[in-house]
Amino acid sequence: MNSFPGLYADVSAAASAYGCSIHEVHDPDLDFPEEIDLKTLIFALSVARGSNMNYRLITPEDNLILADIVRSNLKAHNLDIPGTVYFDDNLNHLSDFYLASPNRTYYMALDDENQVIGGIGLAELDFMEDTAELQKLYLADNAKGLGLSYKLVSLIEEEAKKRGYKKMYLETHTNLSTAIHVYEKCGYKEIERPKEVVHSSMNRFFLKELA
């Protein structure tokens, strides 16, 4: 397998040659992998340039793939417990939920070969006026650390504004420290726990005013 050493200087040089900076490719506050395969590096560089942000709306064919990505992420962070989405009845049928109303949407993130590598969604929030809930930002392991989460958050915020939402709310868990890091860098501010929270194991809550 062709490989590209995960050395900061080498990746920085590759990023410069590709017309962007390493800070656009990878968040320097997060761990960079010891080794990154050449295909993944090229994908990361193209995403950073904005030329390869592949995505599409969810379809029924995505349901089991997405459910597996969600469960794998939660299990890896010891959140395969009651009170999380891990045990939601509709986790294997998410397209039914997100395609049922124009106030909701879910986008699948794709790699260069159009394989699903994650996704992000939004839905109406009953207990906050003019507010959408950012939901289910999850990535497959081979898509993490490449800056893709920031692109997806930006995408879903634009979709929220198109639907007339003025704020974005999200709930997460302390165990998901990397996700919290992303949310904070994207301008989300932590708030107190709303009394209406459905997933009882969630313990961190954030809100952002959409410009």
Domain boundaries, the chain: 1-52, 53-209
CATH of domain 53-209: 3.40.630.30
User: What per-residue confidence (pLDDT) applies to 3?
Assistant: 41
Q: CA distances (Å), 57 to each of 28, 124, 140, 196, in order?
A: 30, 17, 17, 29
Give me 78's structure tokens.
């010891």
Q: CA nearest 72: which of 120, 142, 25? A: 142
Report the candidate in 198, 153, 199 with the shortest Cα–Cα distance to residue 180: 153
Could you tell me the pLDDT band of residue 200, with boundaries at 50, 70 and 90? confident
The mean of the pLDDT values for the chain is: 84
111 Cβ neighbours under 8 A, 6+ residues apart: 43, 54, 117, 143
How far the first Cα of the chain sits from its last, in Å, is: 45
Task: Say what the pTM is.
Answer: 0.79
Residues 96-109 pLDDT 10s: 999 999 999 999 99
Q: Report the range of poorest mean pLDDT among 38-47, 61-70, 121-130.
A: 38-47
In 3D space, the residue among 73, 83, 12, 62 whose CA is nearest the CA of residue 41 turns out to be 12
Measured between alpha carbons, how far is 208 from 60 in angstroms, rounded to an integer? 30
Residue 43 binned pLDDT confidence (cut-offs 50, 70, 90): low
Which residues does residue 131 pair with via DSSP β-bridges, in sequence order?
167
- Residue 109 has what pLDDT? 96
pLDDT, position 133: 97
Whether pLDDT at 68 is above 70: yes
Beta bridge partners of 191: 205
Please state which of the ranges 36-50, 60-74, 84-98 shows the lowest mean pLDDT.
36-50
Q: Is the dihedral of CA 35, 25, 55, 169 positive or negative?
A: positive
What mean pLDDT do residues 167-193 have? 96
Residue 16, C-beta contacts closer than 8 angstroms, at least 6 positions apart: none
Higher pLDDT, 152 or 51: 152
pLDDT band at 204 (very low <50, low <70, confident <90, very high): very high
pLDDT, tens only, 120-178 = 999 999 999 999 999 999 999 988 888 899 999 999 999 999 999 999 999 999 999 99
125 compared with 25, residue with greater pLDDT: 125
Q: Is the pLDDT confidence value at 19 over 80?
A: no
